[in-house]
């Protein structure tokens, strides 16, 4: 069953968007929705892009690293000239289960780099352009685990998403005319990727 939704195909005309982690799942659905609304969309992921990807710009890079962020910034600014919308969708964890004592410094650092510092680094590079143009929107995708951590399974991930939420709230109070919000996806019915393929 594929759900249908209606939208204005000119809603994002003239807007330039960057979506991290935009090659599958919710990220792909966000890319499709922005493109269907007329935005010029750039996306990034560690894995190669598929042929069905509607993004105008694809940058294969690992945004959990400083080098990956630098590559994304360079390519996106060169190709789009700036951004109006940033959706930080990238996230996840490969840390082992077993609670706090099972997590090494490397597990914590990798999880923080992916779920918090990727967004911080990208925002720090893109926010000056948004301030100069006098507008922009930054969206951070968080997780319900920021409030309800699974101690035995994803403690580092939950802590990183809690930090991302706090960072996003702080960012929303600083620059005028730049919107910043943080939300957690919920699952009701078909996946968002299916919704965006209509």
Residues annotated as part of the active site: 157
CA 159 – CA 62 distance, rounded (Å):
21
Q: What is the DSSP letter of 9?
A: T
For the chain, the helix, strand and coil percentages under 3-state DSSP, each to the nearest 5: 45, 15, 40
CA 149 – CA 188 distance, rounded (Å):
21
Question: Which residues, at least 6 apart from 192, have a Cβ–Cβ distance to it below 8 Å?
Answer: 25, 26, 29, 30, 185
């Amino acid at each position: 069953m594929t759900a249908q939704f209606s939208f204005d195909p000119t809603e994002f005309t003239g807007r330039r968007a960057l979506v991290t982690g935009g090659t599958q799942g919710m990220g792909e659905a966000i890319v499709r929705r922005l493109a269907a609304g007329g935005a010029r969309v750039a996306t990034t992921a560690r894995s190669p892009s598929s042929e069905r990807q509607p993004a105008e710009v694809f940058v294969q890079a690992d945004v959990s690293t400083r080098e990956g962020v630098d590559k994304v910034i360079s390519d996106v600014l060169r190709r789009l000239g700036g951004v109006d919308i940033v959706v930080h969708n990238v996230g996840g964890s490969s840390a082992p289960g077993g609670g706090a004592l099972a997590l090494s410094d490397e597990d914590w650092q990798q999880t923080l780099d992916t779920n918090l510092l990727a967004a911080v680094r990208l925002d720090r590079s893109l926010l000056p352009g948004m301030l100069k143009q006098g507008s922009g929107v930054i969206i951070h995708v968080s997780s319900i685990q920021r409030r309800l951590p699974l101690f035995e399974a994803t403690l580092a991930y939950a802590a990183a998403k809690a930090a991302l939420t706090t960072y996003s709230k702080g960012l929303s109070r600083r620059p005028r005319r730049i919107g910043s919000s943080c939300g957690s996806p919920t699952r009701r019915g078909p996946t968002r990727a299916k919704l965006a393929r209509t």
